[in-house]
Each structure stands twice: as structure tokens, then as C-alpha cells.
Chains A and B, each alone.
Chain A
Amino acid sequence: MATSTPRPRLIHFMAAFGTGGLLTLMVHFNGELGRHGNALFSSWGAHGTGTVAAILFLALLYRRRAKSTVERPPAPVWAYLGGLSGAATVMLTSLAVNSPLALAGTLALGLAGQVVFSLGADLWGLFGLPKRRPTLRDLIALALILAGSALIILFRGFES
């Protein structure tokens, strides 16, 4: 792995930013499911309906997908375990939200954890993805976005 890195294009950056909006909607709806049940039920239900939706999407796209001529390297077994990590996240987050950290503290520390992981992941090319030395530009963007996020999270719910 870590041989050919496709050139980044504007659409990739916009897609990443746009999916942040999907995350907001997802958290909103899953929260509603959690209010009717509990955190475990919310995550279980979302993973269940998600599995069904993924099968439907794949079925819809199946005919359009011509057989790829490019030989792809097989995936190691551990690459299939992203779902375990995701399921564990839900449990840990609901534990932290119900601690003195509350929602704001949980979100802020969670962002810190994500950023630390991503820096290590790029620096060492962890888990078979391309190695990518963070540039000064990456670090400036990181500082701006984290500072802005911290302001929004920590002042949320306070009237000015």
C-alpha cells in the first residue's frame, strides 16, 4: 500500500466538509431515537436501518457498476473491524456525556482525540493508508478549525 496517492481535488475537500452536515443530522435523529429508548437502542437501531439501507444502495448501484478491470489488493481481516470501533464509540460517548463532562466537555475532548489520532495516522501511514507528512498549511487549518469549534462548543447554550 501507500504507493499511489490520488491527487487531492476540490471536490474531496468539499465532500468532507459537507459530510459534517450529514453528521449533524445523524446525531439529531439518533438522539431522538435515544430519547424514546436509550443510547444502546439508538445505536443498535441506527446500525440496523443503516445495514438495510446499505444493501438497498448497493442493489441500486449494482447494475451500473461495470466489472472493474483494475486489480485491487485484498483487504486484511482487520480492515473489516471499523464497525466494532464505531459501536464502542457510541457506548463510550454516552458514558462520558452522563459524567460531569456533560455534552460540551465530551465533544471537545472527543475532537482532541480525533485530531491526535489523525495526526499519528497521517504521519506513520497507519492501517495501510498513505503516509502523509502534515504540512504547515495543514497545521494552520487545524488550529483555526479547532479554535472555532472550541468557541462554538463551549459557549453553546449560553444566551449572550
Chain B
Amino acid sequence: MTIPILVAVLAGLLVGLSRQLNGRLAVSTSPLISSFWNHAIGFAALTVLGLVVGGLIPPGAEDAPWHAYVGGPIGVVFVAAGSWVIARIGAVNTAILVIGGQMVSGVVLDLFLAAPTALWATGLGVILILAGVVVTQTQAKR
């Protein structure tokens, strides 16, 4: 159980590292150029990995509907936006606001998809997150 825990924490650390590196690259280039390199280099690395371990294009992949590929372009905007804000509001604010936004929108998506949820826990969670978001706003220049 220790190894999966370390793996999961490391995955989180790497999310932060990636955002920090892309943010630094955006300072010298632009957020969109930084997002381009993030995707191009990730694609190259995954292509190599897929060719080495095999099964890059698994059976059934061609049956995926077109909208399953929309995640890529959305990711471009996501990475560019993260690279833009991190140099301005810092790594902590960026991380917690993105996490908060992901959680609240996930709850909305779950409601939309009618996924089962414990209403009291989810509702309280959303309230706590929104309170946290309000706290970060108080340092903004209006």
C-alpha cells in the first residue's frame, strides 16, 4: 500500500512541477507557445513509450466518437491559462483555485449526469471551497 501512496503523491508533485516549468517558459515566450511545447514534447515522449512497450493504438480505439478527442484542445487552453496566471498569483493560489474549480464543476457535472452523491457532504464541500475562493479574492486589485 505504501508504493501506491507514493505513486499518487508523486503524480501530484509532477502536476505542480509541470505547471511551474510551463509558467517559466511562458515568461520567456507566451502562454500559448508554452502550451504548444508542453503538448508536443509530451506527445513525442508518449509516442516513444508506446512504441517501446507496444499497444500504442489498442483495439477498439478507432471506435471512439469524435468528441472523445475534444480533451486535447481543451487541455491546450487549460495549460496556457495556468501558465498565464501562475507568474501573477503564485503557485499556491493557482493550485488551490484550479483544484477548487475542478471540484465545484465536477459536482455540477455529476448532478448533470445524475451520479449518486452524499448531498450534505458535497454541499458542505462546495460551501467551504467557495469560502476559500472568496478569501483569495480579497488580495486582488480591483
Chain A at the B interface: mostly helix, strand, loop or mixed?
A: helix
Measured in the bound complex, the distance between the Cα atoms of B92 and A142 in whole Å is: 8
A121 partner, pick from B16, B60, B128, B130, beta carbons under 8 A? B16
Is A67 an interface residue, CB under 8 A from the partner? Answer: no
Tally of A-B residue pairs with Cβ under 8 A? 478
Contact A148 B127 (CB under 8 A): yes
CB A53 to nearest CB in B, in angstroms, measures 4
Most chain B CB neighbours (cut-off 10 Å) among A8, A112, A140: A8
Contacts of A157 in B (CB 8 A): 115-117
CB A97 to nearest CB in B, in angstroms, measures 9
CB B95 to nearest CB in A, in angstroms, measures 4
Contact A20 B99 (CB under 8 A): yes
On A, residues with C-beta under 8 Å from B are 1, 5-10, 12-13, 15-30, 32-33, 36-38, 40-55, 57-58, 61, 72-76, 78-93, 95-96, 99-101, 105-106, 109-119, 121-122, 126-130, 132, 134-135, 137-138, 140-160
Can you add 4 more A-B contacts, CB < 8 Å, to A121-B20, A147-B125? A41-B57, A85-B17, A87-B45, A129-B27
* Between-chain CB contacts (< 8 Å), 20 pairs: A16-B94, A19-B78, A21-B101, A23-B78, A24-B109, A25-B74, A28-B109, A30-B71, A41-B55, A44-B50, A54-B39, A54-B40, A61-B32, A80-B41, A109-B11, A111-B99, A115-B96, A130-B90, A142-B96, A151-B125
